[in-house]
Structure 1
Amino acid sequence: MKLKRHRRKQPQNKSNQTPEEQSTNLSNDLEKNKSSIKEVFTDCQDIVYHTYHFSKEYREQALVVFCETIIQNEKANLLKEVMQDLVTYEVGPATEVDLFDVKRFFIKHGVTSRAVELVETEEQVRDKILEGHIVILFQHWNKALTYDAFSVEKRSVGEPQNEVSVIGPREGTIENLTKNIGLIRSRLKSEKLKFKIKNVGNNTKSKVAYAYLEGTVPEDTLKMFKERFDGIQEEEILETSYFAELFEESTYSPFPQYRTTERPDVAVSGLLGGKIIVLVDGTPTILVCPGLFTEFFQSPSDYYQRTMFSSFIRILRIIGFIISLTLPSIYIALSTFHSELIPTVLLMAILDTREGMPFPALIEALIMIFFFEMLQEASLRLPRPIGSAVSIVGALVIGEAAINAGIASPMMVVVVALTGIASFSIPQYDFGTASRILRLPLMFAAAVLGGFGLMIGFLLIYLHLASLRSLGQPYFAPLGPIRPGAFYEFIFRSPLVTQLRRHQKDNLSPNKSSK
């Protein structure tokens, strides 16, 4: 699949378009319209055509076309309902209603309370059929009526599997864009909440939407987002993660520049915090952007618990990220170059366990991490009831077998196990993969240059984070540039009373929009 990045579609000159690209108006000849539709939907056996006759002596003819796999079957015969609407407003039995009455009814009364539209071109008819509408065409009338009857089985709203909440809401988004927007609207009842929806893709015609809370998003960030969003026209979007790669500043950075969630409360929290969310019909994932480095260590569930406990959990997450990123490389550097820094008793224990090992510490660590990553990926692909059991049993068996076979030392098994456990302490899975990727070059640097190599690796990571931006905002803020108040909030969760007072003060500030 080919995706074009940050490209704005240029307007085309109608005179240069091929006849197939130009809009073709419907004909007054019903058979000609039917032939045109059938030609487009060749070999599409789920497209149904029904011909009806009505009016006195059944002289008038109509054609009903729909895709039976994406509509409600009880709405398939809508011509009778159209006639019933006519009888409601006009005098006389339905059998005496002719085409003139149909035209006059819709010109005089417009659309009824049902989801009905009046279309004029063949392209509109095709699109409506594929969107789950029932199309009614009449003989001697170059317009068509379309009724929305879309109905595809969707799973009901339930708790998201990847974001389990101990305390707080249990609702999760589903694969229906309209219901997802409703879940967000029900939590954020404000006229400042703005939604924009459009269709993208030549083939998928995916319905995508973005939302923001007016007055909370910096103007330059919103302008940059709108330019990139409007530049997406022909790309085939199947999931919100496609937008992450199309929008992000550095595609090859291991750090994600956008957050994902399936919880409406997380999306609402992001909107209140000045974020923009992106939704796509057919996927439950919501994209929250821009995503900054410090935000990946925070979770909305932190605000559902007491301040002391939430602060303790945040510190654990930060320590877990550091352990996941550096523990194998620190062990390699200490055991290979800086053994004098290890306490004597611990050093003797390490040397005793490494006696007779055929591989250096780097190869030993790479082998064990490779086994651990394989088990992790296998547990994700296996059915849920047996995935956890296979991962636990596999880790125990492989670890014990590696020790008995002399491939790895017990200390290395402990280091790799602690590293893997620490990587799961981060709320965002995508951010945890950054530590999984970066720990490998750090291990090589530690094996070649020891502690000096680690310092070079840390410096390069810091320089990359400091130079990275997400929708124009510094990715490493508030650590770089440093902001003391936000830095404190990164480590500790301040009491809600303090946050509410600060929020009220910001709302009363005349320079709030420029912050």
Structure 2
Amino acid sequence: MKKFKKFKNVESNALTSDETHKEISPKLTDNISILKELFKDCSDIVFRPIVAGKAHAFVVFVDGFIDSKSVELNGIRQLLEEVETERISANLLMERVISLSSVSETSKLDDVVSNVLKANTVLLVDGLTKGIIFDAKGGDRRTVAEPQTESSVRGSREGFTERLRVNTALVRSRVRSNRLKILSKDIGEETMTGIAVLYIEGIAAPNLVEEVLSRLDKISIDGILESGYIEELIEDSAWTMFPQIQNTERPDTVAANLLEGRVAIIVDGTPFVLILPATFWQFFQASEDYYGRFQIYIFLRFLRIAFVFIALTLPGIYVAVTTFHQEMIPTSLMLSIAASREAIPFPMFVEVMIMELSFEALREAGIRLPQVVGQAVGILGALVIGQAAVEAGIVSAPTVIIISLTGISSFTIPRYNMSVAFRMLRFPLIFLGAMFGLFGVVLGVLAVLTHLCKLRSFGIPYFWPLAPMSVKSLKDVFLRVPWWAMDRRPNQLVKDDVVRQTENTGKIREEGSSS
């Protein structure tokens, strides 16, 4: 495995004053002056003073991060009621005043600052050397909805959101086991982005979990804004177009992979969760493959793999055959292609490149424009440009058909990042076909296969279970065997708890048919 780049370990400098390393002072005014200096020109930081009898206090929070009604009902109002009858103490505040489930205390000012920035609320009381931290998160956030990039015919309609704890809860609701471990950490000196590492103890290999945590600990960066940052920083090889870590918006996909011994990484602020290690074949599996009749999805998997080959090689083969190997084309078809190209001023290579680049530009425009407009631009652009280009004599009709079939084939790949990799690799194969004919296309395909066999993802061969060959694990590659036949977890990932189901599970159908 290629060594992961070592980052220089430096302490976070997000707290710019040495004052934050002090203990909380019994003088409330001293604490508030330090905090106000640290949060100078931060208009979203709220310092809410409270006076109850002789007691003075401050509630500190970030506006827009918390549910102000919850703070009022479960914190401020009860503080005003209790202070009249009893002497205030940290225990009193935690046990009787703050009626929320998540309450803790701290004696450090830097803990106060970090918790405020993590969307927690802090209560500081005059005369106390401890601050009370409680979770009253709220504000407007996107609710759980159907995933935008992984729609399915059958299965869950729930997708991840941008909130870390909502996402961990979605996974926990599917894996209700105390063996599901969720380890939290913050990455990013300025952003302090919350990260959660999920795995099932006893199923995930301990060395895999240690490797993931080790790579995350070596990251020293100013900010993490999306899970793509993490993906690029911890992957084995940066010099490849093929994704070595799967991302998904679906909680059921994460749960299924955890049960196979993989590790998931959830990043606060993004609905895309990372799953690792990943193999090449994993990117051609859709979630509904496991929810329907296995005979149907065996056919669909073969269809996807066949169309992947078409998406990669068809333009290159077309250029190679029409340029160097015309004898391979039936005479009637060759005459039809020759007649359509009679008025075309460009060689076949240039013609195909014009259409490929136009198709990619239309696809990119359709993604970047608003959804309603983008769909219209994509459809009308393809029709108008294709028809106009043929009538103007810039490209031939067979070329438009070839490029259209290639584009449709790339849409059959369930994972967008794998689809983009094959789209990019088409261009070198077109060039090789124009230079060396079919010999060049075959060399290009062999180079891609060799590259795939050399890749690894967290120690797992990328082309496994085909290379190296594992016959037992082929049950879920080209085929999707019935659930009663998938009685073992992948042997490359799981070494201990390899049994997925007992033998009696496979006998249910026999008992049913006999009765």
User: What is the TM-score when the length of structure 2 is the normalising length?
Assistant: 0.89
Q: Please state whether the residue corresponding to 2:308 is helix, strand or coil.
A: helix
Match of 1:82 among 79, 84, 94: 79
- Compared with structure 1, are the counterparts of its residues 456 and 117 closer, same or farther at alpha carbon in structure 2 (3 Å cutoff)? same
1:104 Cα shift? Answer: 6.6
CA RMSD, Structure 1 to Structure 2 (Å): 2.8
- Compared with structure 1, are the counterparts of its residues 377 and 249 closer, same or farther at alpha carbon in structure 2 (3 Å cutoff)? same
1:454 Cα shift? Answer: 1.2
Give the fraction of aligned pairs with identical amino acids, expressed as a percent.
38
Matched, 1:70 2:65: yes
Query: Which residues in structure 2 correspond to 1:288-437 (within 5 Å)?
Result: 288-437=275-424
Match of 1:247 among 226, 234, 246: 234
Which residue does 2:507 correspond to in 1?
A: none
Q: Please state whether the residue corresponding to 2:195 is helix, strand or coil.
A: strand
Q: Please state whether the residue corresponding to 1:172 is helix, strand or coil.
A: coil
Matched, 1:444 2:443: no
Match of 2:136 among 131, 149, 168: 149
CA distance in structure 2 between the aligned counterparts of 1:375 and 1:417, rounded to whole angstroms: 12
CA distance in structure 1 between the aligned counterparts of 2:214 and 2:297, rounded to whole angstroms: 38
Indicate if the aligned counterparts of 1:269 and 1:300 stay in contact, CA closer than 8 A. Answer: no
1:45 Cα shift? Answer: 2.2
CA distances 1:341-366 after superposition (whole Å, capped 9, x unpaired): 11111111111111121111111111
For structure 1, which segment, 481-490 or 33-42, has the greater mean C-alpha deviation from structure 2 after superposition? 481-490
CA distance in structure 1 between the aligned counterparts of 2:12 and 2:341, rounded to whole angstroms: 74
Query: Which residues in structure 2 correspond to 1:133-144 (within 5 Å)?
Result: 133-144=120-131
CA distances 1:386-438 after superposition (whole Å, capped 9, x unpaired): 22122111100000111111110001000000000000001111101111111
Q: Please state whether the residue corresponding to 1:50 is helix, strand or coil.
A: strand
Matched, 1:49 2:44: no
Match of 1:237 among 219, 224, 245: 224
Matched, 1:166 2:165: no
For structure 1, which segment, 232-241 or 117-126, has the greater mean C-alpha deviation from structure 2 after superposition? 232-241
Which residue does 2:36 correspond to in 1?
A: 38
- Compared with structure 1, are the counterparts of its residues 343 and 148 closer, same or farther at alpha carbon in structure 2 (3 Å cutoff)? same
- Compared with structure 1, are the counterparts of its residues 200 and 12 closer, same or farther at alpha carbon in structure 2 (3 Å cutoff)? closer
- Compared with structure 1, are the counterparts of its residues 31 and 232 closer, same or farther at alpha carbon in structure 2 (3 Å cutoff)? same
Which residue does 1:61 correspond to in 2?
A: 56
Residue segments in structure 2 that go unaligned for 5+ positions in a row: 500-515
Aligned residues: 493
Q: Please state whether the residue corresponding to 2:313 is helix, strand or coil.
A: helix
Whichever residue aligns with residue 79 of structure 2, its letter is: V
Q: Please state whether the residue corresponding to 1:242 is helix, strand or coil.
A: helix
Whichever residue aligns with residue 82 of structure 1, its letter is: L
Indicate if the aligned counterparts of 1:332 and 1:447 stay in contact, CA closer than 8 A. Answer: yes
CA distance in structure 2 between the aligned counterparts of 1:356 and 1:21, rounded to whole angstroms: 79
For structure 1, which segment, 418-427 or 355-364, has the greater mean C-alpha deviation from structure 2 after superposition? 355-364
Whichever residue aligns with residue 84 of structure 2, its letter is: T
For structure 1, which segment, 331-340 or 271-280, has the greater mean C-alpha deviation from structure 2 after superposition? 271-280
1:65 Cα shift? Answer: 2.6
CA distance in structure 2 between the aligned counterparts of 1:357 and 1:11, rounded to whole angstroms: 62
CA distance in structure 1 between the aligned counterparts of 2:301 and 2:54, rounded to whole angstroms: 76
1:215 Cα shift? Answer: 2.7
CA distances 1:63-118 after superposition (whole Å, capped 9, x unpaired): 3333232221224443431354x4xxxxxxx43544xx435736998986543222
- Compared with structure 1, are the counterparts of its residues 302 and 13 closer, same or farther at alpha carbon in structure 2 (3 Å cutoff)? closer
Indicate if the aligned counterparts of 1:365 and 1:416 stay in contact, CA closer than 8 A. Answer: yes
Indicate if the aligned counterparts of 2:94 and 2:103 stay in contact, CA closer than 8 A. Answer: no
1:166 Cα shift? Answer: 0.6
CA distance in structure 1 between the aligned counterparts of 2:220 and 2:494, rounded to whole angstroms: 40
1:441 Cα shift? Answer: 0.5
Residue segments in structure 1 that go unaligned for 5+ positions in a row: 87-93
Whichever residue aligns with residue 56 of structure 2, its letter is: Q
CA distance in structure 2 between the aligned counterparts of 1:107 and 1:317, rounded to whole angstroms: 57
Whichever residue aligns with residue 325 of structure 2, its letter is: H
CA distance in structure 2 between the aligned counterparts of 1:485 and 1:176, rounded to whole angstroms: 39
CA distance in structure 1 between the aligned counterparts of 2:494 and 2:232, rounded to whole angstroms: 37
CA distance in structure 2 between the aligned counterparts of 1:179 and 1:480, rounded to whole angstroms: 38
Matched, 1:462 2:449: yes
CA distance in structure 2 between the aligned counterparts of 1:474 and 1:506, rounded to whole angstroms: 9
CA distance in structure 1 between the aligned counterparts of 2:96 and 2:226, rounded to whole angstroms: 40
Q: Please state whether the residue corresponding to 1:327 is helix, strand or coil.
A: helix
Matched, 1:224 2:183: no
CA distance in structure 2 between the aligned counterparts of 1:179 and 1:421, rounded to whole angstroms: 36
1:232 Cα shift? Answer: 2.6
Q: Please state whether the residue corresponding to 1:491 is helix, strand or coil.
A: coil
- Compared with structure 1, are the counterparts of its residues 439 and 83 closer, same or farther at alpha carbon in structure 2 (3 Å cutoff)? same
- Compared with structure 1, are the counterparts of its residues 505 and 254 closer, same or farther at alpha carbon in structure 2 (3 Å cutoff)? closer
